[in-house]
Amino acid sequence: MLQLNFIKENKDLTIAGLERKYFKNAAETVEQVLSLDQNRKDTQLELDNTLAQSNNLAKEIGGLMKEGKKEEAEAIKGKTAELKATSKNLEEKLKELEVSLQEVLVTMPNLPHESVPAGKTPEENLNIFSQGEIPKLHADAQPHWELIKKYDIIDFELGNKVSGAGFPFYKGKGAKIQRALINFFLNEAEAAGYFEVQPPIVINAASGFGTGQLPDKEGQMYHATADDLYLIPTAEVPITNMYRDVILSDNDLPVKNVAYTPCFRREAGSWGAHVRGLNRLHQFDKVEIVQVRKPEESYQALEEMLEHVKGLLTKLELPFRILRLCGGDMSFTSALTFDFEVYSAAQERWLEVSSVSNFETYQANRLKLRYKVDGKTKLLHTLNGSALALPRILAAILENNQTAEGIKVPKVLQAFCGFDVLN
């Protein structure tokens, strides 16, 4: 959530940033925030003055009663009753204004970093890095949804029977490759200084609000209505909420956590060839890295996270590219996001496998995540990234490494899964 003081002190900058995120009615919304805030201040001042008058009259009444001037005291009591009624009305008005102000603030997305390119669509994202050669496949090469049937490693029909579309069963060597990828990613994160946690995979509404999934993304999450709990869309949510309502010290920083979890996304309205097979699932596995940093350190931390993900893809021997997302293609909460995409040779298209983002103070403000400096508390910066999401990584491995004799397992995974060829 944007800080109110920042909006007040940087009105034009806020409007320009919201417009770069293609937020509708940016200027009107900012004016609404400023108007509500001024109204709130005026109401608070009026309430304070009314309470002060009431207190003064109460003292006056006490003095008159001591002097035996009962009739004069009784006359003043009528005024105090009026002031009490006025105070009650002002308190109710103040609460309503505070709620209204909060409701508007939570609709406003984070402002983009100055380096975010202009643009609204994915086609306007900026390609800033690429590595690896596009593999040349043999004549009978197939997309991964055919390969998984050929080698009997993933069963979508069985998943559909047990749960529904988008919930596959991984079987035999398919399950082992999944486990190999998870262990590889976790080991690499630990070597990079991340502390592993295993969080819950359901969250409450307060956690969803803290990281920005609520109140406007309910439709994207699975909701257990009886207990008002949500299945996590990513481990970012429970990990970052570990620090909700927390004041960290210098000794606690930097925070670097990693977790493997299943993730759940309804993906309502998704269909077509671009979501076939492993391209888009309702349940998928992911290893997530999260950092909490001081503001002056967060962009260096973001660079470190980018290098970490680059290292994973390099070791997996997958061709990949990095995109700096334009303002219109960024998430609601992000200030700067880089997407990693791997090339899927059989599909002849790029597949997103990771997003690495800096949220600056946006999530921290909602979470009340702070640190002490010079006796004062300040908001921290939060960052996270997929390192990595498994389905499309597995799709690219299957497609890019297929040969007439079988599918070659990347060398870095062979020790984890116990075989070097899938046949």
Single pTM value for the model = 0.94
| 303-345 pLDDT tens trace | 999 999 999 999 999 999 999 999 999 999 999 999 999 999 9
Q: Is 354 annotated as a binding residue?
A: yes
Would you state the torsion angle of the CA atoms of residues 405, 409, 411, 416, taken in this order, to the nearest 10 degrees?
-140
Which pLDDT score is estimated for 58?
85
Yes or no: domain 4-105 corresponds to CATH 3.40.50.970: no
Which pLDDT score is estimated for 268?
57
Distances (CA, A) of 266 to 101, 144, 259, 378: 31, 22, 21, 36
Q: Is 125 annotated as a binding residue?
A: no
Common-topology check for domains 4-105 and 122-422:
no
- C-alpha 275/C-alpha 203 separation (Å) is 27
**40 Cβ contact list (under 8 Å, min separation 6):** 94, 97, 98, 101
| 118-135 pLDDT tens trace | 999 999 999 999 999 999
**Secondary structure of residue 151 in the 3-state scheme:** coil
| 191-230 pLDDT tens trace | 999 999 999 999 999 999 999 999 988 889 999 999 999 9
Q: Is 314 annotated as a binding residue?
A: no
Task: Tell me whether strands 154-155 and 169-170 are parallel, antiparallel or unpaired.
Answer: antiparallel
Where do the domains of the chain lie? Answer: 4-105, 122-422
Yes or no: domain 122-422 corresponds to CATH 3.30.420.40: no
Q: Is 114 annotated as a binding residue?
A: no
Task: Of 38, 37, 43, 36, give the one whose Cα is nearest residue 91.
Answer: 43
Q: Is 20 annotated as a binding residue?
A: no
Q: Is 334 annotated as a binding residue?
A: no
Which pLDDT score is estimated for 273?
55
Check whether 60 has a pLDDT greater than 90: no
Q: Is 196 annotated as a binding residue?
A: no
- C-alpha 412/C-alpha 423 separation (Å) is 18
Q: Is 384 annotated as a binding residue?
A: yes
Q: Is 267 annotated as a binding residue?
A: yes
| 229-241 pLDDT tens trace | 999 999 999 999 9
**Secondary structure of residue 288 in the 3-state scheme:** strand
| 86-130 pLDDT tens trace | 999 999 999 999 999 999 999 999 999 999 999 999 999 999 999
Q: What helix, strand, coil percent values describe the chain, rounded to 5?
A: 50, 20, 30
Do residues 250 and 294 make contact, with C-beta atoms less than 8 angstroms apart?
no
Q: Is 255 annotated as a binding residue?
A: no
